Structure formats: structure tokens, C-alpha cells
Amino acid sequence: MYFSKMHGLGNDFMIINCINQNLFLSSSIIKKLSNRHTGIGFDQLLLVEKPNNSMFDFNYRIFNSNGNEVEQCGNGARCFGLFLLLKGLTEKKRISVSTKAKKLIIEFTSNNMIKVNMSEPSFKLENFTLLKNISYNNFSTKLIEENLMCSFVSIGNPHCIIKVQTIENAPVNILGKRIEKNIIFPQGINVGFMEIINKNNIKLRVYERDVGETYSCGSGACAAVAVGIVQNLLSHNVQVNLLGGNLIVTWKGFGHPLYMTGPAKHVYDGHIYI
């Protein structure tokens, strides 16, 4: 099996071209491949597939390191796009891909950055939580079990955003794991800890569902900025400072798509017998 190893700001991926390789990867195989000591090692596995219909150029599938298929991965989308270019699978500078949750538009900009149209964020909690009769206060609600105010949003995948004074002291791994596994989120949830520096800059750490804290989370960056904008805390163009580097997130508000711009890096190509 031939693959590429790539990363987006330290959020790393194994990417496989399934157009010219006929593969079936069970969750147990994915777990073995993701092991950083005895396998390839990655946060997510990305599969490149033929489109499901003529509206799209490719189909994009994402699996977490535990073998669970998920709906969305922003950093992965940029690496997915770069992989298509490097492998000669497309010559387009703007491609449309389908995911488990929605469609994405991936665009290659003149400064070698990759811009992804992540579609409009959704604040409809009933899509991913068992919470009923939620009382909103400026798009926030109290998570009773943890006695803290949280904001919830979907960027194709679910996110819980918590504002903190400083991310250096935030209990990311302790609190992130507890919230991710809370029974009110049947499919789990990503948990972001956001420190607002000013209206154009935030710091962010993210505990990713099924993975743990990662160096970067593209959809988490989009989620945090979306929450900050609807709460009138952020401008429409924000730099998100993550452990692995910076992303630019732009959103004009409701009725408009959200855009994420950042780098992607190819690390190496390889093959493995499974």
C-alpha cells in the first residue's frame, strides 16, 4: 500500500490514493497504522476517492487514529488539496470535494497557501447533542456537569468552545477528555480553549475527539472564530495562533461561508505491507 505522510501546522496525516488502489482498511488496521511506535503514526487517516457524483472533483474521507470515521478535518483538507497537486491528480487551482458532512471548496492561492471554503457554521445543537430546551445567553450555555459556560458550533463536525484567560494554564487534557466523553454528546465532541488577545488575534488549544490535544486543529480554529464573531468579540478576519503555527480565518457572519487559509507540508512518501 502506497501512502504519503503530510502535516498542517503539526496536525499530521497519512494520505492514501484510493483511486488507483483497491483497499479495505478496518478500524483495527487503522489503529495499527496510527501507532507512533510500531506503525506510521498520525492524527488522522485521509482517503482520496473518486467523486460520488459529477458535482464534485473528489470524495474526501477522514478517519481518526482509533479507526472511527469523522465528518470534517480542516488541516486535512489543505493537505488533501496539496496531495492532489503533488500526485498529478488535478491541475485545477480550485477543486470541489465531498465529505461525510458537506462539500468543501479547496483553493490554491498565489503565495503557496491553501484556502478552504468551510461553508457556513451551524449553531443548531440538536444535530449533535442530547441537550434539550437550551437557554442561550449570547450563544453560550452552561454545561452543568462542569459548571462552566460553553459555546457549541458545528463546522461539519461538533465543537465546544471555552473562553479562558490564558491557554498556558488551561486544563486542556483533563477538561477536554471529560467533556468529549460526556453522555450528552453521543458521537463525542472537539473541545477548544480560546484566549482572546484582541479582535484580530486569538490563541487556541484543542482537544480533538478520539485523538487528544493536537498541535493544530483547522476546524477548531474555524469554530473558535465563529463563536467569537457571533458574540461580537472578534472582527471578521482573525489570526489563530495554535501550538503548531498560525491560520487565518475569515467570516462575514450569518448567510456567508467561512474561509480558512494556511499552509500544508509534504513530509515523505512510502509503502507498507498490511
Catalytic residues: 73, 217
Task: Locate all alpha helices (DSSP H) within the chain, ordered by sequence.
Answer: 27-34, 74-86, 172-180, 218-230
Contacts of 146 (CB under 8 A, 6+ apart): 175, 178, 179
Using alpha carbons, select from 133, 69, 128, 106 the residue that is nearest to residue 218. Answer: 106
Evaluate whether 202 touches 234 at the Cβ level (below 8 Å).
yes
As given in the structure block, the three cell numbers for residue 121 are 457554521
Contacts of 114 (CB under 8 A, 6+ apart): 77, 78, 81, 82, 106, 107, 108, 261, 262, 263, 264
Query: What are the start-end ranges of the E strands in the chain?
Result: 2-8, 11-17, 44-49, 58-64, 69-70, 94-98, 103-108, 114-117, 141-143, 148-154, 158-163, 190-198, 201-208, 212-214, 237-242, 245-251, 258-262, 265-271
Tell me whether residue 126 is exposed, middle or buried, using C-beta atoms within 10 angstroms of its C-beta: 0 to 12, 13 to 18, 19 or more: exposed
Quick check: helix, strand or coil at residue 252? coil
Tell me whether residue 218 is exposed, middle or buried, using C-beta atoms within 10 angstroms of its C-beta: 0 to 12, 13 to 18, 19 or more: buried
As given in the structure block, the three cell numbers for residue 241 are 495562533
